[in-house]
Amino acid sequence: MTLYTCQQARDGKFIVSKLDDEMNVDGYYTLTKTGPSMTCTCASHRPYCKHMDILKAMIQRNAVNTGTFYDLDNDVWYPPIGEGVL
């Protein structure tokens, strides 16, 4: 299972963090959102990557900066640590 969380930095960019099975951070992706268009550091020359889907889902759910976890593969959401049982 791979989980993602999302934070918005002071400069307005979004940081999507990827966590492994032991909840260790496995990678960071920085996304910039300008209106409906997004860019991601992993896709500098590609128009699309799955981190953009994650960010869209996070924004829709107001999950940015909340510590909410998203399991993209299974489309399952988990509450922040300390606020529920996985």
* Residue 6 binds Zn ion, judged by CB under 5 A: no
Residue pair 39/32 in contact (Cβ under 8 Å)? The answer is: yes
Count of positions on this chain that bind Zn ion (CB under 5 A): 6
13-32 positions binding Zn ion, by CB under 5 A: 29
CB of 84 to Zn ion, least distance (A): 28
Q: How far is the CB of 86 from Zn ion (least distance, A)?
A: 25
Core vs surface per residue 4-34: b (16+ CB within 10 A) or e: bbbebeeeeebbbebbeeeeeeeeebebebe
Does residue 40 bind Zn ion (CB under 5 A)?
yes
Identify residues 46-65 at the interface with Zn ion (CB under 5 A). Answer: 49, 51
Q: How far apart are CA 56 and CA 83, in angstroms?
A: 23
Q: Which parts of this chain interact with Zn ion (CB under 5 A)?
A: 29, 40, 42-43, 49, 51
